[in-house]
Amino acid sequence: MTQVRMADIEWPAVVKLTQNDELLYLAHQRDWLELACLYQHQFIDTDLLLDSLGYQYLIRATPTTIYEDPIGELPNLLKKEQKLSLTDFIKWVQKHANAIGQCCVAKLAFTTFAQGMEIVQSLDD
């Protein structure tokens, strides 16, 4: 796994927190920076960011030492070798829809990661 630059991520993206079925939709890098600031010490090692191409990034929180510069506290993203399968992403979106109270979640389907991102965004509206 390698640390990534923000320019390597294909936006929009979603964050999948390990202990929650809801997905956090991120339209732009700015949304990631806001989320990272809010959650900076609450991420666990199995939390993931998934981009619109299906690449998975492990979210690695930094130590809880307080620095004068809050940017130094932002979590690192480590790219996993293997993409998430589209089938697994469909399951994520179905669980997300169920968690937010949508009906007929078994009928949710799509053929690309980008389409799945659009569905997550529309469910959140």
At residue 64, the pLDDT reads 55
pTM for the complete prediction?
A: 0.87
Provide the token pair at 99: 């968690």
At residue 69, the pLDDT reads 54
Between strands 56-60 and 13-16, the pairing is unpaired
At residue 72, the pLDDT reads 57
CB 105 within 8 A of CB 98: yes
Provide the token pair at 76: 């690192």
Tell me the average confidence (pLDDT) per consecutive run of 10 residues in the chain, 125 residues long: 81 96 96 89 90 95 59 80 96 94 86 96 88
CB 117 within 8 A of CB 100: no
H or E, element range at 53: none
Provide the token pair at 48: 């993931």
